[in-house]
Amino acid sequence: MIDSGLGGLTLVRAIHRALPAEQIISFADTARLPYGSRTPETIIGFARQIARFIRQFDPKHVLIACNTISSVALDSLRGEFPDLSISGVIEPTARAAVEAAGARAQPLLAILATEATIRSKAYERALARRRSKATLLLRPAPLLVPIIEEGREASDPLVRLALRQYVHPLMARKIDVLILGCTHYGVYKNAIAQMVGGGVVVIDASQRCADDVTRRLRSARKLKEGGVGHLRSFVTDDPGRYRILAEKMVGLTIDEPTHVPIDALPDAEPMRVRAAG
């Protein structure tokens, strides 16, 4: 599990419930978050460093538990590490959104995401492949990741103000489905669902990604049956704070993470650029 911070733990929680026998390694690049305002080149460079570090554990599957990395760097990672089975969060989330839209002739789907995810147009492509006649509204929500990483709970007045700023303009457009296009935003899913009301389906990545990983492992005949799994966490900054926030914000009790300083990560080799034609 690769992410920039706390958001990936919402997927860790869902996958551990679905696959309690599996050993899970979680890597959070807490020293360099947020990723959402960075350039694609920077995001890809960070992701390649982390993938090189993770490969030492010989994982049977790698989940990019981050919408920003999934939208910007997934193809690059698959190209550089063909020996690794790698998936992201965009496709499972898009499938869930299309299913939630149901039989509506022209559903109105809204996406809250980071600036980098929106710029990538990854959700637009994923949704268009499944539902060409849907109308999309895209809204960046750059304040939410820092607020979550600060440890502010959904009841905090500042959180409520930020959510209203981002969500109310979408509600005014009478949306049918709201996609939380950042795994961090899942921390506030209940508050967002309450704000938009029962007529709007709120989609996050956690359960669909757990289902997707289960399907992939079963198909590859790598699904572990029996035994008790364990979570091992790595962070690039302040393990103690990460552990405290994991319980406070995600409701997940974890062991003290291992600190991996940025300068201890493998250097990413220069990318090979092939000219068109």
- Token pair, residue 149, equals 């990483």
Q: Tell me how far the alpha carbon of residue 20 is from its chain's centroid.
A: 20
SS3 134: coil
Residue 50: left if φ>0, alpha if ψ -120 to 50, beta else—which one? Answer: alpha
The pLDDT of residue 269 is 52
- In the numeric block, the tokens 């990854």 are attached to 122
Residues 153 and 249 sit within 8 Å (Cβ to Cβ): yes
Alpha-carbon span 49 to 46, nearest angstrom? 5
pTM over 0.85: yes
Catalytic residue among 182, 195, 200, 245: 182
Per run of 10 residues, the mean pLDDT along the chain (length 277 residues) is 96 95 97 96 97 96 98 97 97 95 91 97 94 91 96 97 97 96 97 96 94 96 92 97 97 96 80 39
The pLDDT of residue 248 is 96
Residues 50 and 77 sit within 8 Å (Cβ to Cβ): no
Alpha-carbon span 143 to 100, nearest angstrom? 27
Does 182 qualify as catalytic in the annotation? yes
Does 66 qualify as catalytic in the annotation? yes
Domains recognised in the chain with CATH numbers: 2-88+207-264 (3.40.50.1860), 90-205 (3.40.50.1860)
Catalytic residue among 2, 6, 33, 66: 66
The pLDDT of residue 276 is 35
Alpha-carbon span 72 to 40, nearest angstrom? 6
The pLDDT of residue 271 is 46
Residues in the chain: 277
Question: How would you class 248 by CB atoms within 10 Å of its CB: exposed for 0-12, middle for 13-18, buried for 19 or more?
Answer: middle
Alpha-carbon span 96 to 224, nearest angstrom? 26
